[in-house]
């Protein structure tokens, strides 16, 4: 039976195993974002300095992900080209993450050292882990595979915020670990990362069982010229589009909690519910969005989603008059806000799930890591630039201004994606189209 007739099913098990790597990263991210500022705040009174330390992950990601991903492209070993990096960087990530609360209790120097080391190892691991999937799964099934992986990352985020985070209050003393209060989620998450490494090494086999030296290597400059050179500039256009949509997304997300408290009047305990609605929708619809793209095309799916995101964020800009027109106030207005964010998450995951496979489709086996690294270069660049911009917009125009900014970014990304001509599975050019 041909691969096409079998469909994605033969690759489902391997994809879930690879997804465990993303699951464990998804556990770490919310714990890091929530508690590291608190740890730093015990030593540093200036929130500006705390915020500067918290940008280290984005700064390291901007450089380390593409560098290590490209390095892994060129690596040839009997166990593969990604696995050596995974076996080194993920265990070191686990140990550094588990050490965080203990370092925080020791001194500021120990805490900053732990943060520094964690971000080096974690961002070094991300490129090879991400590139592992397209190495194994054929191009026509990568949207479905990316949907599975994003689902696991979304579930992990929910588990981290609603499950592990609650263990911070557990006041017991454990063997070896000592007092657990304010610490326990970190070593548990670290242990899960180590378990994921063992699963990946034991059950995931990288493509190519022949002579590793015979596998093709694609020079970095040749790949970059192919992206930016003459002819089809689809890869460059996708990178520009994802910079725009991440610019909008990252400009709004950090301020959702403050907007909820200060503009909608919700309690601090419910301030995270807005972001939670996005996360729940993300987890629920990641896999369906991959299958939808297989039917109607990745480019078309992304453009539909971007158009919907533009409308939804515009609705947030007009939330007050919209609520008045519907006769909603107080709690009902908050529910409307959460409902819009749930829909936002549904369409947002459709964009994220299918953009990576479009880039991978344009790559060759020898330069998958380069395309993976460029994705993170552009997305992390947007993540670094956007919050200061939207923070300034809030100072000048209030919170509504960030929704207008996001809507413009999504509309611009929609327009740029209209000129993309490649990125669909081979033989499915009709889905991509040639005109905006």
In this prediction, residues 135-161 reach a mean pLDDT of 81
pTM (predicted TM-score): 0.76
More confident residue, 294 or 238: 238
Residues 286 and 405 in one domain: yes
Residues 114 and 240 in one domain: no
Tell whether 44 is covered by a domain: yes
Task: Say what the pLDDT of residue 210 is.
Answer: 41
Residue 183 belongs to domain with CATH number: 1.20.1250.20
Task: Say what the pLDDT of residue 434 is.
Answer: 39
Binning pLDDT at 50, 70 and 90, where does residue 220 land?
low
Binning pLDDT at 50, 70 and 90, where does residue 184 land?
confident
Task: Say what the pLDDT of residue 262 is.
Answer: 82
The count of structural domains within the chain is 2
Residues 157 and 17 in one domain: yes
pLDDT, tens digit (0-9, with 9 covering 90-100), for 248-283: 998 888 778 778 888 888 876 576 678 778 888 888
pLDDT, tens digit (0-9, with 9 covering 90-100), for 280-329: 888 899 889 988 988 899 999 999 999 999 999 999 999 988 888 888 78
pLDDT, tens digit (0-9, with 9 covering 90-100), for 388-436: 888 888 888 888 999 999 999 999 999 999 999 888 876 444 344 433 3
Task: Say what the pLDDT of residue 177 is.
Answer: 67
Residue 180, pLDDT > 80, answer no
More confident residue, 233 or 161: 233
Binning pLDDT at 50, 70 and 90, where does residue 224 land?
low
Residue 17, pLDDT > 50, answer yes
Tell whether 229 is covered by a domain: yes
Residues 132 and 260 in one domain: no
Show which of 180, 206, 232 is a domain's final residue: 206
In whole angstroms, give the CA distance from residue 402 to residue 200: 41
Residues 306 and 196 in one domain: no
pLDDT, tens digit (0-9, with 9 covering 90-100), for 20-29: 877 877 788 7
Residues 67 and 112 in one domain: yes
Residue 181, pLDDT > 60, answer yes
Task: Say what the pLDDT of residue 391 is.
Answer: 83
Least confident window among 91-105, 172-186, 301-315: 172-186
Residues 323 and 351 in one domain: yes
pLDDT, tens digit (0-9, with 9 covering 90-100), for 39-82: 888 898 776 677 678 778 888 888 888 888 888 878 888 888 88
Show which of 206, 239, 265 is a domain's final residue: 206
Task: Say what the pLDDT of residue 27 is.
Answer: 80
Residues 383 and 405 in one domain: yes
Tell whether 335 is covered by a domain: yes
C-alpha to C-alpha distances, 32 to 36, 55, 107, nearest whole angstrom: 5, 12, 18
Binning pLDDT at 50, 70 and 90, where does residue 117 land?
very high
Residues 240 and 296 in one domain: yes
Which residue in 219, 200, 189 sits closest to 118, CA to CA?
A: 189
Give the CA diameter of the chain.
Answer: 69
Most confident of 122-126, 134-138, 264-268: 122-126
Tell whether 3 is covered by a domain: no
Tell whether 215 is covered by a domain: no
Tell whether 211 is covered by a domain: no
More confident residue, 402 or 1: 402
Strand partners, 174: 178
Show which of 181, 206, 231 is a domain's final residue: 206
Tell whether 390 is covered by a domain: yes
Binning pLDDT at 50, 70 and 90, where does residue 108 land?
very high
Residues 362 and 227 in one domain: yes
Q: Residue 340: which domain range? A: 220-431
Residues 112 and 171 in one domain: yes
Task: Say what the pLDDT of residue 7 is.
Answer: 75
More confident residue, 41 or 120: 120
In this prediction, residues 96-111 reach a mean pLDDT of 92
Question: Considering the chain, what percentage of its residues have pLDDT values greater than 90?
Answer: 27
In whole angstroms, give the CA distance from residue 393 to residue 377: 24
Q: Do the bridges between strand 173-174 and strand 178-179 make them parallel or antiparallel, or are there none, so unpaired?
A: antiparallel
Residues 195 and 263 in one domain: no
Binning pLDDT at 50, 70 and 90, where does residue 92 land?
very high
* Average pLDDT of the chain, as a whole number: 82
Which residue in 132, 80, 122, 150 sits closest to 291, CA to CA?
A: 150
Task: Say what the pLDDT of residue 304 is.
Answer: 97
Question: Considering the chain, what percentage of its residues have pLDDT values greater than 70?
Answer: 86
Residue appearing with tokens 């990601």: 61
Binning pLDDT at 50, 70 and 90, where does residue 211 land?
very low
Tell whether 2 is covered by a domain: no
Most confident of 179-193, 309-323, 354-368: 309-323
Binning pLDDT at 50, 70 and 90, where does residue 133 land?
confident
Task: Say what the pLDDT of residue 194 is.
Answer: 92
């Amino acid at each position: 039976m041909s691969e096409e007739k079998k469909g994605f099913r033969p690759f489902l098990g391997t994809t879930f195993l690879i997804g465990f790597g993303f699951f464990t990263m998804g556990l770490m991210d919310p714990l890091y974002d929530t508690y590291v500022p608190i740890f730093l705040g015990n030593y540093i009174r200036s929130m500006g300095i705390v915020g500067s330390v918290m940008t280290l992950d984005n700064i390291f990601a901007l450089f380390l992900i593409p560098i290590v991903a490209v390095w892994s492209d060129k690596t040839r070993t009997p166990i593969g080209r990604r696995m050596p990096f995974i076996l080194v960087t993920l265990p070191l990530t686990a140990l550094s993450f588990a050490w965080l609360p203990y370092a925080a209790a020791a001194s500021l120097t120990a805490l900053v050292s732990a943060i520094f080391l964690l971000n080096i190892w974690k961002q070094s691991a991300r490129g090879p882990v991400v590139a592992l999937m397209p190495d194994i799964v054929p191009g026509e099934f990568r949207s479905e595979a990316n949907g599975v992986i994003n689902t696991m990352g979304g579930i992990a985020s929910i588990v981290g915020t609603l499950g592990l985070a609650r263990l911070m209050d557990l006041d017991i003393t454990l063997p070896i670990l000592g007092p657990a209060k304010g610490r326990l989620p970190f070593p548990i998450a670290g242990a899960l990362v180590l378990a994921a490494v063992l699963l990946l090494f034991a059950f995931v086999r990288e493509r190519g069982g022949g002579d590793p030296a015979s596998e093709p290597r694609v020079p970095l400059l040749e790949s970059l010229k192919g992206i930016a050179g003459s002819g089809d500039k689809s890869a460059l256009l996708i990178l520009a589009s994802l910079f725009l949509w991440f610019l909008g997304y990252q400009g709004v997300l950090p301020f959702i909690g403050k907007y909820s408290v200060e503009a909608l009047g919700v309690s601090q305990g419910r301030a995270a519910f807005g972001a939670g609605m996005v996360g729940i929708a993300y987890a629920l619809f990641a896999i369906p969005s991959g299958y939808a793209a297989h039917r109607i095309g990745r480019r078309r799916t992304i453009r539909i989603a971007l158009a919907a995101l533009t409308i939804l964020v515009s609705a947030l800009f007009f939330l007050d008059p919209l609520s008045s027109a519907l006769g909603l106030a107080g709690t009902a207005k908050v529910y409307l806000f959460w409902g819009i964010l749930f829909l936002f998450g549904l369409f947002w995951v459709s964009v994220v799930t299918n953009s990576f496979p479009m880039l991978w489709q344009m790559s060759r086996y020898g330069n998958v890591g380069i395309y993976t690294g460029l994705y993170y270069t552009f997305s992390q660049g947007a993540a670094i630039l956007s919050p200061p911009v939207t923070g300034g917009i809030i100072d000048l125009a209030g919170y509504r201004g960030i929704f207008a900014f996001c809507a413009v970014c999504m509309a611009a990304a929609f327009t740029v994606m209209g000129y993309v001509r490649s990125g669909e599975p081979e033989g499915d050019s009709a889905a991509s189209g040639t005109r905006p």
